[in-house]
Amino acid sequence: MSLVIRGSQDPKPLAAAVRSEVQVLDPNLPVSNIKTIGEMINERISAKRLMTYILAVFGLIALLLASVGIYGVMSYAVTQRTQEIGVRMALGAQAVDVLKLVIKNGMTMALIGVAIGLAGAYALTRLLANLLFKVAPTDLLTFALVTGALIVVALFACFIPARRATKVDPLVALRYE
């Protein structure tokens, strides 16, 4: 049996008064597990809140892995193209041109990946619809923020190898391999 009481004061002193009134009415009736509405709500949503935190941590780990992967691929591509970059610089290419070339190649791959990911996420929203609270499965703001974050991370992951490529000495690169 449950009893819900609404009061305009602090609920703790009110609980003691209710306990004493119940004991007056029936001394054999135990009064236990007294909680405020806030405590009851927290108990009800704590499992969903924990699941949300776990999903957020997994999302951040996935973002970290994606950025490390993009960095690794771009670093490897720059290493493989060291000779080409050296020839370009020997023929007069400026550091800005090399930077643009490497970032353009990396961002092209990243944007293709983001497009495929958006399509996959949109297709899978039906499976996650029951886990969402006050958010539409195809929430435009969420899709835009996540896409923007991935693009910024990809840009930074491409920028580091691109910057390293601009420091290639044409003479060393031509003797490379």
Same-domain check for residues 26 and 51? no
The single-letter code of the amino acid at 110 is A
Residue 127 is assigned to a structural domain of this protein: yes
Residues 95, 79, 68, 110, CA torsion sign: positive
Which range of residues forms the domain containing residue 10? 1-34
pLDDT tens string 86-136: 888 888 888 899 889 889 988 998 899 999 999 998 888 878 777 776 777
> How many Å apart are CA 107 and CA 12, to the nearest integer?
59
Same-domain check for residues 1 and 87? no
pLDDT tens string 10-39: 777 888 888 888 889 888 888 888 887 888
Residue 59 is assigned to a structural domain of this protein: yes
Same-domain check for residues 13 and 50? no
Count the domains in the chain: 2
Residue 120 is assigned to a structural domain of this protein: yes
Q: What is the pTM of this model?
A: 0.65
DSSP 169: -
Residue 97 is assigned to a structural domain of this protein: yes
